Amino acid sequence: MNVLSTKKPLLYLSKSIVRLILLLWTIIVIYPVLWTFLTSLKDNQQVMLGKPWDLPTLFRFGNYADVWSRAHFGDYFFNSIMVTVGSIAVSMILAATTAYILARYTFRGRGILYFIYVASMMIPTTLGLIPLFFLLSDLHLSNSLFGLMLVYSVGTIGILPFAIFFLVGFYKTLPRELEEAATIDGSSNYGIFFRIMLPLSKPGLVTVGIMNALTVWNEYIMATVLINDPEKYTVPVGIAIMQAEMQYRTEWGPLFAGLAISMIPVILMYVLYQRQITGGLTAGALKG
Amino acid sequence: MISIKKKMSMTSVWSRRLFILSFLLPTLALFALFTIYPLIRGLYLSFFDWSGGSETMNFIGVNNYKELFSDSIIPTAIKNDYFLIFWKVILIMLLATFFAVALTRLRLKEYGFYRIIFFFPNIISVVVIGVLWSFIYNPSLGFLNAFLSLFTKNPIEINWLGSPNLAIWSLLPPSVWAGIGFYMLLIIASILGIPNSLYEAASIDGANEWKQFTGVTLPLIWEQFKTSIIHIVITTLNGSFIIVKLMTDGGPDNQTQVLGYYLYQMGFKQYHLSYGATIGVLILVLSLITTLLINRILHRDTIEM
Chain B hits for A156, Cβ within 8 Å: 34-35, 38-39
Chain A hits for B213, Cβ within 8 Å: none
DSSP annotation string for A249-275: S--HHHHHHHHHHHHHHHHHHHHHHHH
Q: Are A94 and B17 a contacting pair, CB within 8 Å? A: no
CA distance A151 to A221: 12
Which DSSP helix (H) or strand (E) runs through A102?
helix A73-104
Question: Is any Cβ of chain A less than 8 angstroms from the Cβ of B143?
Answer: yes
> What is the chain A residue with the closest CA to B286?
A124
CA distance B273 to chain A (A): 7
Q: Output the pLDDT for position B8.
A: 57
Smallest Cβ–Cβ distance between B234 and the set A100, A124, A274 belongs to A124
Chain B hits for A14, Cβ within 8 Å: 209
**pLDDT by residue for chain B (305 residues), tens digit each?**
455 555 556 778 888 899 999 999 999 999 999 999 998 888 888 888 877 666 677 788 788 899 888 999 999 999 999 999 999 999 999 999 999 999 988 777 788 899 999 999 999 999 999 999 988 998 888 888 888 888 888 888 888 888 888 899 999 999 999 999 999 998 998 888 888 888 889 888 888 888 888 888 888 888 888 989 998 998 898 888 889 999 998 878 888 999 999 999 998 888 888 899 899 999 999 999 999 999 899 887 666 55
Q: How confident is the model at residue A34 (pLDDT cuts 50, 70, 90)?
A: very high
Cβ under 8 Å to B: A residues 54-93: none
CA distance B185 to B123: 13
ipTM: 0.87
Peptide bond just before B219 cis, omega within 30 deg: no
Q: Output the pLDDT for position A4.
A: 45
Higher pLDDT, A7 or A254: A254
pLDDT above 60: residue A162: yes
Q: Are B242 and A240 a contacting pair, CB within 8 Å? A: no
CA distance B31 to A164: 12
Smallest Cβ–Cβ distance between A125 and the set B126, B238, B273 belongs to B238
The mean pLDDT value for A163-192 works out to: 87
Chain B hits for A269, Cβ within 8 Å: 123
Question: Is any Cβ of chain B less than 8 angstroms from the Cβ of A36?
Answer: yes
Chain B hits for A116, Cβ within 8 Å: 36
Most confident option among A80-84, A271-275, A279-283, B183-187: A80-84
* Cβ atoms < 10 Å from Cβ of A278: 22
Q: Over the stretch A182-192, which tens digit does the pLDDT of each residue have?
A: 888 888 889 99
Q: Output the pLDDT for position B283.
A: 92
Least confident of A162-171, A205-214, A215-224, A276-285: A276-285
Q: Output the pLDDT for position A286.
A: 46
Q: Are B209 and B179 a contacting pair, CB within 8 Å? A: no
The mean pLDDT value for A209-227 works out to: 92
Of chain A, the percentage scoring pLDDT greater than 90 comes to 48
How many Cβ pairs closer than 8 A exist between chain A and B? 256
Smallest Cβ–Cβ distance between A130 and the set B30, B33, B277 belongs to B277
Q: How confident is the model at residue A66 (pLDDT cuts 50, 70, 90)?
A: confident
Q: Output the pLDDT for position B55.
A: 64
Question: Is any Cβ of chain A less than 8 angstroms from the Cβ of B258?
Answer: no
Query: pTM value?
Result: 0.87
Cβ under 8 Å to B: A residues 152-211: 153-156, 160-161, 164, 180, 183-184, 189-190, 193
Contact criterion met (CB < 8 Å) for A126 and B264 = yes
What are the respective helix, strand and coil percentages of chain A, to the nearest 5? 80, 0, 20
Q: To probe the interface with B, which of A27, A104, A130 has the most B CB atoms within 10 Å?
A: A130
Of chain A, the percentage scoring pLDDT greater than 70 comes to 92
Q: State the alpha helices, DSSP H only, in chain B.
A: 2-7, 10-31, 37-45, 63-70, 73-105, 111-119, 126-136, 143-149, 167-170, 172-192, 196-204, 209-212, 218-247, 259-264, 273-297
Higher pLDDT, B216 or A82: A82
Using alpha carbons, select from A195, A55, A169 the residue that is nearest to residue A117: A169
Q: How confident is the model at residue A10 (pLDDT cuts 50, 70, 90)?
A: low
Chain B hits for A22, Cβ within 8 Å: 99, 102-103, 108, 110, 114
* Cβ atoms < 10 Å from Cβ of A93: 16
Q: Over the stretch A94-124, which tens digit does the pLDDT of each residue have?
A: 999 999 999 999 999 999 999 999 888 878 7
